[in-house]
Amino acid sequence: MSEVIIPNVTRDDRIGSVFNHLFRIIAESEKLEGKVLWNFQDVHFFHPFFVFPFSLYRYELSNKKNVECKGMNDVVQSYFSTIKFFDFMDLREIGDFNNVLKCYKEKSYTPICRFSLSDKNIERMQSIIKDVILQQIKLPINIESHLSYMLGEFVCNMEEHSQGKYGYIFSQYLKKEKSLYLCLADDGISIYSSYIFKEKHLDKIDEYESSALRLAKAGYSSKDRPEAENRGYGISTNSNLLVKGFGGAFFILSGGAFHREEAENNIFIELPKSIRWNGTIILMKIPLSEAKNVNLYKYMER
Amino acid sequence: MKRNTIKLSTLLGENITSRSSLQILCNILKSNDVIDMSDIVFISRSVADELCYFEESYNIMFVGMSDFTRKMLSLVRKNRNKPRKRQEQDSKFVVCDDIETLLSVVSSI
- Which domains occur in chain A, in start order? 1-87 (no CATH), 92-300 (3.30.565.10)
Residues of A in contact with B98 (CB under 8 A): 272, 274
For the cut 60, the answer to whether the pLDDT of residue B7 exceeds it is: yes
Task: Find, in chain A, the residue whose alpha carbon is nearest to that of B21.
Answer: A120
How many whole angstroms separate alpha carbon A145 and alpha carbon A126? Answer: 12
Q: Which of B18, B75, B90 sits opposite A159 (nearest CB)?
A: B18
Percent of chain A having pLDDT more than 90?
59
Q: Average of pLDDT values for A79-92? A: 91
Chain A residues within 8 A of B16 when measuring between CB atoms: 123
Q: Which of B17, B83, B94 sits opposite A148 (nearest CB)?
A: B17
Q: Which of B27, B8, B10 is nearest to B73 (CA)?
A: B8
Nearest CA in chain A to B16: A123
Q: What is the spatial distance between Cα B85 and Cα A298, in angstroms, rounded to a whole number?
A: 15
pLDDT class of A124 with cuts at 50, 70, 90: confident
State the alpha helices, DSSP H only, in chain A. Answer: 19-31, 48-62, 74-82, 94-102, 122-137, 144-157, 191-198, 209-218, 234-240, 296-300
Q: How many CB atoms lie within 10 A of CB B28?
A: 10
CB contact under 8 A, A155 and B95: no
Task: Give the C-alpha separation, A133 to A295, whole Å.
Answer: 20
Q: How far is A78 from chain B (nearest CA, A)?
A: 30
Mean pLDDT of chain A: 89
Q: Looking at the DSSP assignment, which residues form a beta bridge with residue B93? A: A268
> What tens digit of pLDDT does each residue of B39-92 get?
998 898 888 989 999 999 999 999 999 988 998 899 888 877 666 666 666 788
Tell which residue, B83, B19, B84, B85, has the closest CA to residue B52.
B19
Quick one: pLDDT band at residue A183, thresholds 50, 70, 90? very high
Higher-pLDDT residue of B28 and A230 is: B28
Cα B35 to Cα B38: distance, rounded to the nearest angstrom:
9
Cβ neighbours around A258 below 10 Å, total: 24
Kindly state whether B104 is in contact with chain A, defined as any CB-CB distance less than 8 angstroms: no
Segment A136-158 shows an average pLDDT of 88
Q: What is the pLDDT of residue B75?
A: 86
Selecting from B14, B79, B99 the residue whose C-beta is nearest the C-beta of A27 gives: B99
* Domain-wise residue ranges, chain B: 5-83
The residues, any chain, with a CB within 8 Å of residue A255's CB and separated by 6 or more, are A189, A190, A191, A192, A193, A209, A212, A276, A277, A278, A280
Q: Give the Cα separation of B56 and B61 in Å (integer).
A: 10
Q: Give the nearest partner residue to A272 out of B16, B20, B97, using CB atoms.
A: B97
Burial of A166 (0-12, 13-18, 19+ CB in 10 A): buried
Q: What ipTM was predicted for this assembly?
A: 0.81
Distances (CA, A) of A185 to A161, A250, B84: 13, 14, 27
In this structure, of A9-18, A87-96, A269-278, B40-49, the range with the lowest mean pLDDT score is A87-96
**What span, in angstroms and rounded, lies between the C-alpha atoms of A129 and B64?**
27
Query: What whole-number distance in Å separates Cα of residue B76 and Cα of residue A233?
Result: 10
For range A267-295, the mean pLDDT: 92
